[in-house]
Chains A and B, each alone.
Chain A
Amino acid sequence: MDKEFITRGLRRSSTGRFLLWILPWAALLVFGLYCAGLCLVKGLNQTNMDNRFAFGLWIFLDLTVIALGAGAFLTGFLLYILKIDELHAVINSAVVIGVVCYSGAVAALMVDVGQPLRSWFTFWYPNVHSMLTEVTFCISCYLTVLLIEYLPIVLRNRKLHDVPSFLVFEHKLHNLVYVLAGVGTFLSFFHQGSLGGLYGVLRGRPFAFREGLAVWPSTFFLFILSAAAVGPSFILLTTKLVETLSRKRLVRPAVYRLLARVSGLLLSVYVLAKTVDTLVWINRTSPGSGFEAWQYYSWKPFGTWILFAEIVVFGLLPALVMLTPRLRMHTGWLVTAAAMACCGVALNRFVMTVQTLALPTLSFDSFVSYYPSWQEIGTFLAVVAYGVLVYSFSFRYFSLFPEERELRLEAAAREEETALAGRY
């Protein structure tokens, strides 16, 4: 029915099967929108957050998806600025992932902050003393950049490409995409850093407070590094997932290995930096604030296991796997390592958000536990469903993996060779 909109030579499921696939996600989105609507109309009393636990599931989600979406800027930088042409095979998918992650994060933030009709206040009346101002500016600018980068992908749709003005605009915009890649890299560095800096400057929360360089606490740099490290891992993971679900070969194994190598390299630098930072914090920063580091880990369930898991299990181990050429040759190892790296960044963002706020800091304070309300979970799920839907539609109607057709032809050639070998 919709074949005319699907890129020539690409095989996609029937319209009926596609509708069946999107139906549950659409239902989840509707439910999530209802939850978000409740929060917006009735206020944050619909959530389990309060003045003490002001950051919850949504901020954890925001930080995590923004880190995972960093693959868009890193891939753009490597492809258009450093000219690593192999990444052409995944750049479109990376842009879609970036758009999904950033727009999802902005949507969740809008619900969290509330009063969406006054969202422009943040630009017109910014708090110039807040790191959140830098975050807001950079994220909204970068989301705009990502949407502009997404535009050529949309305009390459088969039907839209038939319109001469769309065709020409897409071509001319694509020729200038290196400017957007450069701007995107600049913005990403700053907002990833500012998100980390947000926690590092919390003097009243010694668990998160860090010293650093000039006005930037060490978490500023750690957030940049960790996001850059897991971005390629997330692209690897999503590409493999789409390959599995669609039962198609989308990119060559060499591209997976390249993504893993980039991710492994950056992850190892991150693990090193994080280890040094943790040692400085344990021996200097924390005692300077009047707390011994072990005190933070006496509040269960946040034992030292969480630190070990973050640095060793989900940091060092995947980095080693991705940097070992022999292991990189095996898809199973690659996917496991990429998944572990992504879990690592999620754990880090969880620790920075939830553990930081749960720990008591004053003598009359107590350990507070937080569990999100169903409205919070619903809104969280809406972002996930929205991401799946946008990616599914993009995969169906746009060419996200430019080598897909070529890989099919190569598979056909091998099939033919096998048939001929059998005949003679």
Chain B
Amino acid sequence: MLPWIYGFNWGAGHIIFLGAFYAVLTAVAATIVSAVVRSRRALLADQAEAIRWHSDFESLPACDRVCRHVLTGEFLERQCPHAFDCRECETHAKLIERHPLARVPEQEEDAFGMAFPLDRFYHRGHTWARLEKDGTVLVGLDELGARLLGTPDALRLPQPGERVHANGAAFHARRRDADVRVVCPVDGEVVETGSAERGWYLRVKPDRSGPMAFRHLLRGTEIKPWIQREMERLQLALTAEGAAPALADGGVPVADIAAAYPAADWDAVCGEMFLEG
């Protein structure tokens, strides 16, 4: 559609049509170029992990995206608007200022026969972070996470010196047909890798220190209601994957849940429980 084509004249009709056509082409081209430029910037700024988490989070069912204050009964219903990153949540800041968490006298919380030591902070993707005396942070799988994966068939840990991001991948574990991305609870640099036998998987030199570094993680009295909800989610995930209802009243989960449900689609169950979209 060019001005030198036979029949073309600089009349209003042709100019409007050409203008509209080229405006559309420009808008489409600008959109693509803008997306490419933004992507490049994001990749250079090492934002891929954050984007992956946001993408995963948005694809979770609404019931899995509830605010931590719903777990404790402070809200009846509320979706987390910050993808579980309470560090930037004003509502969370106000609520913990008004109602600080009560101190728990016990050393650990026992839920469904599983021990959740209270000396550490828990991510809702079933990892924990414990601040060590030397300022490093140990990262490990919580009891439910460990029982879901059992003894992993394969483990892919980051190398010392690599960076990890809160809500990004801490490490990858393979169990049966499930290739699971286990979420990292803190930002920092890996200084040492561990194993299931040592009880932790990563030792991280955190980027931040102080209460803000762990503000997005669950602790103390939040643990029990959270685990209660997680057990309900697990039961639901197992039922959805064709396994029979998992728990009778008073029952406790077996040490290797994957082995107990050979027919279940373990990839789907783990995706659900480890918050992977």
Contact = CB atoms under 8 A, between A and B. Distances in A.
Interface in A352-408: 399, 402, 405-406, 408
Contacts of A405: 61
B17 A134 contact: yes
A133 B38 CA distance: 35
Contacts of A167: 48, 51-52, 55
Interface stretch (A123-131, A327-335, A336-344): A123-131
B272 A9 contact: yes
Given A9-B272, A127-B7, A179-B31, A416 B38 contact: no
A392 B21 CA distance: 34
Given A134-B17, A164-B48, A172-B42, A9 B268 contact: yes
A124 B8 CA distance: 12
B267 A172 contact: no
A3 B236 contact: no
Nearest to A190: B20
Given A141-B25, A408-B240, A409-B61, A171 B51 contact: yes
A215 B17 CA distance: 13
B43 A164 contact: yes
Interface stretch (A180-188, A240-248, A266-274, A285-293): A180-188
Contacts of B20: 186, 190
B82 to A, nearest CB: 17
Give the interface centre of B177, B236, B271 by most chain A CB atoms within 10 Å. Answer: B236
Nearest to B43: A168
Nearest to A130: B7
B27 interface: yes
Give the interface centre of B2, B17, B55, B240 by most chain A CB atoms within 10 Å. Answer: B240
Interface string A90-131: 000000000000000000000000000000000111111100
B32 interface: yes
B277 interface: yes
B8 A128 contact: yes
A141 B36 contact: no
Interface of A: 3, 8-9, 11, 123-129, 133-134, 137, 141, 144-145, 148, 156, 161, 164-165, 167-173, 175-176, 179-180, 182-183, 186-187, 190, 215, 399, 402, 405-406, 408-409, 411-413, 415-416, 419-420
27 contacts: A3-B267, A8-B268, A124-B5, A128-B7, A128-B8, A156-B55, A161-B55, A164-B48, A165-B43, A167-B52, A167-B55, A171-B39, A172-B34, A173-B35, A179-B30, A180-B31, A215-B13, A402-B59, A409-B63, A409-B236, A409-B237, A409-B272, A412-B236, A412-B237, A413-B239, A415-B239, A420-B245
Interface of B: 1-2, 5-8, 13-14, 17, 20-21, 24-25, 27-28, 30-32, 34-36, 38-39, 42-43, 47-48, 51-52, 54-55, 59, 61-63, 177, 235-237, 239-240, 245, 265, 267-268, 271-272, 276-277
Given A133-B1, A141-B28, A412-B237, 7 more contacts: A8-B277, A123-B1, A172-B42, A173-B32, A399-B59, A405-B61, A416-B239
- 9 nearest A-B residue pairs (beta carbon): A412-B240, A406-B61, A412-B239, A164-B48, A9-B268, A173-B35, A8-B271, A172-B38, A169-B39
